[in-house]
């Protein structure tokens, strides 16, 4: 079973536009991470936001977290063709050494950026 | 290379055959994870090692699945008597730390097709 749900499932935009995708989750978390996956490749870590943080920036990426609504958003500004990929949110609920890496992923948002 | 390496890249097995999937983590990474990704879905957790100790195997779908990391470096995921529902991409990830929120570094995966 998957913890998170991304919305929308697919997004098509033109270069230079902003892309926003949302993630909702069900249970309490201690951190939420966003990953990118290019077709046929592994996942690449983009950004991590802890449960006591509300917003985080990394380059053209901006992530928000609202724990009261159990939701997060990822904004990619000034998108490029190279941003074409699937984007996944992953929640970590484990509080112990034994369980911290057990991430639960959503089904992803497929983003296509056309030149 | 500096990344997580998985082999083979593709594997076709006839139903009932045993398969072994290999993962070479980033040198020095303490933690190692296996995830299963079905087509169009996000990865699902299978198992987690810290050094050679398997701390969590709660995601392994059946006793046909077995993972090991005997020397705390290379890991092998073995699937016995493969079934068609085992067809998926198997992703390995490693992480430097064993603390909360350390990002995972993924390999490109092994695509298993069971015919």
- Residue B25, chain A, CB below 8 Å: the answer is no
Whether the pLDDT of residue B80 is over 90: the answer is: yes
Query: Is there a contact between A4 and B41 if contact means CB atoms under 8 Å apart?
Result: no
- H or E segment and range at residue A39: none
Token pair 């090991």: residue: B68
- Pull the structure tokens for residue B73: 């470096």
Closest CB to B103 among A2, A4, A45: A45
Residue in chain A lying closest to B38 (CA): A107
Nearest by Cα to A66 from A58, A56, A76? A56
Q: How far apart are CA A66 and CA A72, in angstroms?
A: 6
Q: Which of helix, strand or coil describes residue B85?
A: helix
Residue in chain A lying closest to B34 (CA): A102
Query: Is there a contact between A30 and B55 if contact means CB atoms under 8 Å apart?
Result: no
Percent of chain B surpassing pLDDT 90: 88
Cβ burial B77-109 (10 Å sphere, 16+ → b, else e): bebeebeeebbbbbbbbbbeebebbbbbbbbbb
Closest CB to A105 among B42, B50, B58: B42
Whether the pLDDT of residue A27 is over 70: the answer is: yes
> What pLDDT, on a 0 to 100 scale, did the predictor assign at position A94?
57
Q: How far apart are CA B9 and CA B21, in angstroms?
A: 9
- Distant-in-sequence, close-in-space partners of B49: CB < 8 Å, separation ≥ 6: B31, B32, B33, B55, B67, B69, B72, B75
Q: Place A104 in a pLDDT band, splitting at 50, 70 and 90.
A: confident
Q: Place A1 in a pLDDT band, splitting at 50, 70 and 90.
A: very low
> What pLDDT, on a 0 to 100 scale, did the predictor assign at position B100?
61
With beta carbons less than 8 A apart as the criterion, state whether A90 and A4 touch.
Answer: yes
Q: Which of helix, strand or coil describes residue B84?
A: helix
Over residues B17-36, mean pLDDT? 96
Q: If you average pLDDT over each of A49-58, B12-21, B27-36, which comes out highest?
A: B12-21
């Amino acid at each position: 079973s998957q913890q998170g749900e991304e919305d929308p499932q697919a997004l098509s935009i033109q270069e230079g536009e902003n892309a926003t995708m949302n993630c909702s989750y069900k249970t309490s978390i201690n951190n939420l991470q966003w990953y990118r996956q290019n077709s046929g490749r592994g996942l690449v870590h983009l950004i991590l936001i802890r449960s006591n943080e509300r917003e985080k920036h990394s380059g053209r990426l901006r992530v928000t977290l609202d724990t009261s609504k159990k939701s997060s958003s990822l904004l990619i500004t000034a998108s490029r063709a190279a941003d074409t990929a699937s984007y996944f949110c992953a929640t970590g609920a484990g509080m112990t050494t034994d369980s911290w890496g057990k991430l639960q992923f959503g089904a992803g948002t497929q983003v296509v950026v056309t030149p | 290379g500096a990344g997580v390496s998985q082999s083979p890249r593709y594997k076709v097995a006839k139903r009932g055959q045993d398969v072994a999937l290999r993962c070479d983590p980033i040198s020095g990474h303490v933690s190692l994870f296996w995830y299963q990704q079905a087509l169009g879905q996000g990865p699902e957790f299978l198992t987690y090692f810290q050094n050679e100790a398997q701390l969590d195997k709660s995601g392994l779908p059946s006793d046909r699945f077995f993972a090991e990391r005997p020397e705390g470096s290379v890991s092998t995921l073995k699937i016995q008597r493969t079934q068609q529902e085992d067809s998926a991409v198997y992703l390995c990830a490693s992480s430097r730390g064993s603390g909360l929120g350390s990002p995972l570094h993924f390999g490109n995966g092994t695509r298993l097709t069971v015919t």
